[in-house]
Amino acid sequence: MKFKKALITGITGQDGSYLAEFLLKKKYIVHGIKRKSSSFNTSRIDHIYDNKSYKNKFYLHYGDLLDPNSLTDLINKIKPDEIYNLAAQSHVGVSFQLPNYTTQVNSLGTLNLLHAIYDCGLESKTKFYQASTSELYGEIQESRQSEKTSFYPKSPYATSKLFAYWITKNYRESYKIFASNGILFNHESPRRGETFVTRKITMGISKIIYGLDKCLYLGNIYSLRDWGHARDYVEMCWKVLQYKKPDDFVIATEKQYSVKYFVDECFKYLRIKIKWYGNGLKEYAKIVSFDYKKYPFLKKNMIIIRISRKYFRPNEVNNLIGNASKAKKLLKWKPKTNIYQLIKEMMDADLEYTRKSQIKYKL
Ligand code: NAP
Ligand code: F7E
């Protein structure tokens, strides 16, 4: 039997790790590109690498989206059936500080990959998935954003991804490459980077509960997002490439919540009562009541959340909610995880992680 070969860029990231697991279960041979780093950057995929049943099925290669030679060499050698381009400088806030670098990786990096497919003469063999984003909608032009909604990017990150979206379409039209965009709304998990807001909240609360920190500082808590689970969304990345023709799809839960609501629901799940006071930069939340035996490091009236100017962006995307009707109809999309299940999974994982590191810390 001939197994399909997939090449994943960004395999060491949140989505890359879930996608690798998903494709291996589907009997793919999975190749991943990791970049050179001065310390280990494979913690999200070490369990796959160490799994003996994936021997000769899972390969890691050094490469970088900014090094076209490394991409052409790998694509030529592997001749993948499917490429998933998940690598990116993916932090919107950071993109304001690194606009040039973000543009090189996210825009030119995508072009480098597409052109490598063309250079290797694999236009009719290799399908290409581009990790596009709801950030393209930025200043929203329609109350619910679909594939037909106009884009209005509001950050260097979103602008760089706009180029990547269009160059993917260009290579589809010009060279008949099966190249598709998945326009994914925010998706989170216990593997989410710790500087994205959901993980920052679940990790921050866990540290306070175990006495390793005192207060969590946030930016715009009134920002509204459509949050799904990364595990559900990588299945859709795969489905986008299994569709009968290359196309663009919005993937979203179609439900919207504020950052403040996410915070409130985390505390509700933990059965810790908090109360908000003040407004603007002076808004804060205090602990009102909790189980003293369960949470010995907490104190009544302790200020647990404060707002910091540091986490506001020069240009904010205030309000995103997707319309995923097309994916629902054509790809049979149905989100499996709601926000409460997501919060439970993230809180449980971070409490356990922090409990273990606290023991290590004390030793
Ligand atoms: P992530 O956790 O930040 O992972 C990004 C990955 O890209 C990491 O593996 C990183 O390597 C790699 N990378 C960065 N620069 C690179 C370069 N120059 N060459 C090669 N690899 C490089 O992101 P994610 O949340 O998994 O998101 C996956 C993709 O979907 C990204 O393109 C993101 O922009 C897009 N997206 C994400 C969301 C979301 O809500 N998560 C929504 C829409 C679109 P290191 O591990 O070495 O840093
Ligand atoms: O911010 C607000 C912040 O950084 C969400 C990336 O995966 O999804 C992600 O981009 C909201 C923003 O994600 C803090 O201002 C408040 O309004 O978790 P985030 P993002 O910017 O939506 C899209 C779809 C992608 O494509 C990106 O790759 O939360 N917020 N206080 C905060 N955000 C952060 N990071 N930290 C705060 O303290």
Q: What are the beta bridge partners of residue 274?
A: 287
Contact 128, 113 (CB under 8 A): yes
Contact 172, 121 (CB under 8 A): no
Q: How many CB atoms lie within 10 A of CB 9?
A: 26
> CA 254, CA 331: separation in Å to the nearest integer?
16
Residue 363 confidence (pLDDT): 46
Task: Return the best residue to mutate from 17, 86, 196 for the ligand 1 pocket (most ligand atoms within 8 A of CB).
Answer: 86
Task: Return the best residue to mutate from 89, 90, 98, 194 for the ligand 1 pocket (most ligand atoms within 8 A of CB).
Answer: 90
Give the residue ranges of DSSP H helices in the chain: 14-25, 46-49, 68-78, 92-97, 99-103, 109-119, 156-175, 197-209, 230-242, 259-270, 325-330, 339-362
SS3 content of the chain, % helix, strand, coil (to 5): 45, 20, 40
> CA 85, CA 83: separation in Å to the nearest integer?
6
Give, for all 363 residues of the chain, the pLDDT tens digit: 789 999 999 999 999 999 999 999 999 999 999 999 999 999 999 999 999 999 999 999 999 999 999 999 999 999 999 999 999 999 999 999 999 999 999 999 999 999 999 999 999 999 999 999 999 999 999 999 999 999 999 999 999 999 999 999 999 999 999 999 999 999 999 999 999 999 999 999 999 999 999 999 999 999 999 999 999 999 999 999 999 999 999 999 999 999 999 999 999 999 999 999 999 999 999 999 999 999 999 999 999 999 999 999 999 999 999 999 999 999 999 999 999 999 999 999 999 999 998 766 554
User: How distant, in Å, are the alpha carbons of 266, 268, 295, 302, 318 from that of 289?
Assistant: 15, 11, 11, 10, 32
> CA 145, CA 189: separation in Å to the nearest integer?
23
Residue 194 confidence (pLDDT): 97
Residue 362 confidence (pLDDT): 55
Return the structure tokens found at 319. 């309000």
Question: Which residue in the list 157, 171, 210, 233 is annotated as catalytic?
Answer: 157
Q: Ligand 2: list residues with CB < 6 Å.
A: 90, 92-93, 133-135, 185-186, 195-197, 200, 218-221, 223, 225, 259, 311, 313, 316-317
pLDDT in tens, 300-336: 999 999 999 999 999 999 999 999 999 999 999 999 9
Contact 288, 274 (CB under 8 A): yes
Kindly give the distance from the C-alpha atom of residue 198 to the centroid of ligand 1, in angstroms, as a whole number: 16
| Claim: this prediction has a pTM higher than 0.85 | yes
Residue 1 confidence (pLDDT): 74
> CA 176, CA 269: separation in Å to the nearest integer?
50
DSSP state of 240: H
Residue 128 confidence (pLDDT): 99
Residue 119 confidence (pLDDT): 97
